Amino acid sequence: MKPIRPYGAGAVLLVIFFALATVLCAQEATPPKHTGVPQDWTQHQIVFTRDALARQPDLIDREPRILHQEMQRWQVPNFGVFQAADPLPTSVKKSGLHRDWNVNLSGRLVADTFPAKFSFDPIAAPDCINDYVVFGLAAPEAEGGSGTGVNANFVGFNNLYSDPIAHGGTGDGLCDQPPFTGLAVLFAYNITTVTGGRVATSPVLSEDGKQIAFVESIPANAGLGIPAQAIFHVLTWTAGGSLTAAAAPTMTSVPLVGPAPTFATANDTTSSPWVDYGADTAYVGTDNGVVYQIVGVFKSASTLSGSPWPITLSSNFHLSPPVLDANLGLLMVGSGNGNLYQINITPPAAVTKTLSVGDTLGGTVTTPGVLAPPVVDITNGTTFAVSAFGTNTAVLVQADTATLGGNLIRIAEIGEGSTGGTHLILHQPAFSNAYYNDPSTGVISFCGTGTSDTTPWQYTFGFKVPVTRPIMNTTGPFTQLSTNPADRCTGWTEFFNPNVGVSPGTDFFFFGLTGDCETIFGGGTTGCVVALANNNGSTTVTTAPVTGGPSGVVVDNFSSAAQASSIYFTAEGLQTAYKFTQSGLQ
């Protein structure tokens, strides 16, 4: 049988038609509700292919993250305000150039956690007032404190699209023009409700941008008699507060509890919450290997679900962020014990499948197995998971989501990883834009290590489509990113921008290195952010120095307006938030 090929413009129009039809039908029954585009850690954990989506257009209604990406990847012809094309950068080294802006904060994001960016209207010009980016910081403050002298540890900025002269810019960004005065603090809160409370994982935005779900992580403090615990919060923000005079937040809070009515005796330091928008339900794990369900997130009051929830997956092992396949009703969760778990969320919820992806280092509970969030192809029923410790090497595994077994399982070796005795975590991969259009021409890219050391290497695997769905190849081109075995590589974020470079546009991959970027990239010795820009068959590499490397990177627009197509992150070695342009990292 010949491989399935995409249906071209017909598939795009079919998908858009069904999406619009769903919205219009909903508006007949209920008053229209504004929906923007959230860009948070969850967006790229759901992938899809155009031909498979054309056969299952109802998935757009079940999983809004598809629609959020579809509007970017397959924009309607003559797409209004986004028509000019920006050139690709000509230099691969940006160490002497300014950033659009950077802001000193009271803390930073934990490694591989992400800020969240909200775009108010995906089919209009970028909005200086209503578009914002939020950073949840791993910085505890005084419990319940607010006002002067209390630093904010949950901060939102607007007037984002600026290039301030104070930072060596030209002052001609979209939000530098009157009546705007450049970057501004939109809201600034102290979210610490229990002594030691901080934000150690990534937040998730509501579709209208008015609310933000996150977890307050609280380590044990024996001196004060405080057990390790985690609290799920939903913040309804209003403008106010400053970086050094935090406001008190308005939020609903749900302590995560075990079977008995006591706080969980575990923190949450690795499992960001996942929100099922359709069911208004959240899922999150704690460091003792337990997964919780919270009913009511953005549309009603939050309540912790009772039996059979919470569900114990791996006692005393940390969990990855969960990812829901809303098509199959299956929650995919990795564990530090090396397993990938499948939870059927249909009542009565239960663990139904387990796949051994990796192992622990020496069998201890503190070493990572599968802590990067799984990536789910919701249209083709496959799941991808990374482990730094496989049987003999670090591995990337593709499995059938429904069965976690059978002939589909593909195991790609990705270097020594932790198998040589070094404790390290390998982070999530990213899929090229071509995968969404024609997976036989697409790739999956991310960082592994050298085959006999822990130096960071880029691994890239293609796909074949033998019958109806893409199957990952297990060999491919590998590229060394650093010669220093102490360097670590972050997770990858992909973003397709149709308005950069030669038509049809540029596919960007953003990631970072924690140390030496000079040897390979010529980009400094103390860490950097890297942009791989693939356009018209050629790849341009751009770097910019970032002390300690970047946190997780979120990307926003594909606008050609001044400074409006950007990336956001914090430095791992500084308490600083950054915005760079996608093209050129300026």
Residues 6+ apart with CB under 8 A from 381: 325, 327, 328, 400, 401, 402, 469
- The residue with tokens 């010795």 is 525
Per-residue confidence (pLDDT) for residue 9, from 0 to 100:
41
User: Which tens digit of pLDDT belongs to each residue from 356-387?
Assistant: 998 665 555 445 789 999 999 999 999 999 99
pLDDT exceeds 60 at position 170: yes
| CA 48/CA 555 separation, integer angstroms | 19
Of the chain, the end-to-end C-alpha distance in Å amounts to: 48
pTM assigned to the model: 0.91
pLDDT exceeds 90 at position 178: no
C-beta separation of 272 from 204 below 8 A: yes
pLDDT exceeds 90 at position 274: yes
Q: How far is CA 314 from the centre of its chain?
A: 24
Cα–Cα nearest to 246, from 175, 180, 193: 193
* Strand (E) or helix (H) holding 16: helix 9-29
pLDDT exceeds 80 at position 79: no
Per-residue confidence (pLDDT) for residue 222, from 0 to 100:
78
Per-residue confidence (pLDDT) for residue 551, from 0 to 100:
97
User: Which tens digit of pLDDT belongs to each residue from 565-584?
Assistant: 999 999 999 999 999 999 88
Ramachandran quadrant class, 280 (left: phi over 0; alpha: psi -120 to 50; beta: rest): left
Average pLDDT value for residue range 138-157 = 95
* CA angle in degrees (0–180, nearest 5) for 465-383-303: 145
User: Which tens digit of pLDDT belongs to each residue from 60-78?
Assistant: 999 999 998 988 887 643 3
* Strand (E) or helix (H) holding 217: strand 211-218
- Range from 25-39, 168-182, 404-418, 569-583 that averages highest in pLDDT: 569-583
- The residue with tokens 């400074």 is 563
Domain borders along the chain are 87-106+490-586, 116-201+203-320
| CA 54/CA 9 separation, integer angstroms | 11
- CA dist 165 to 12, 99, 132, 459, Å? 42, 11, 21, 39
- CA dist 336 to 82, 340, 551, Å? 44, 9, 21
Confidence band, pLDDT 50/70/90 cuts, at residue 320: very high
| CA 584/CA 97 separation, integer angstroms | 10
Per-residue confidence (pLDDT) for residue 262, from 0 to 100:
44
C-beta separation of 529 from 585 below 8 A: yes
pLDDT exceeds 70 at position 18: no
What strands, in cross-sheet order, belong to the sheet with 339-344? 323-325, 330-334, 339-344, 350-356
Q: Is the model more confident about 522 or about 374?
A: 374
Average pLDDT value for residue range 183-190 = 97
Q: Is the model more confident about 23 or about 88?
A: 88
User: Which tens digit of pLDDT belongs to each residue from 423-433?
Assistant: 889 999 999 99
- The residue with tokens 């990374």 is 386
Handedness of CA 299, 265, 198, 115 (dihedral sign): negative
CB count within 10 Å of CB 260 equals: 6
Q: If you write DSSP's letter for every residue of 244-296 in order, what string do you get?
A: TEEBPP-EEEEE-B-SSSSB-SS--SS---EEETTTTEEEEE-TTSEEEEEE-
Residues 6+ apart with CB under 8 A from 414: 386, 393, 394, 395, 396, 426, 446, 448, 449, 457, 459
Cα–Cα nearest to 113, from 586, 568, 580: 568
| CA 79/CA 314 separation, integer angstroms | 48
Tell me the percentage of the chain whose pLDDT exceeds 70.
86
Q: Angle 64-73/9-29 helices, nearest 10 degrees?
A: 130
Residue 179, preceding bond cis, omega within 30 degrees?
yes
Confidence band, pLDDT 50/70/90 cuts, at residue 516: confident
Looking at residue 30, what DSSP letter applies? S
| CA 338/CA 426 separation, integer angstroms | 12
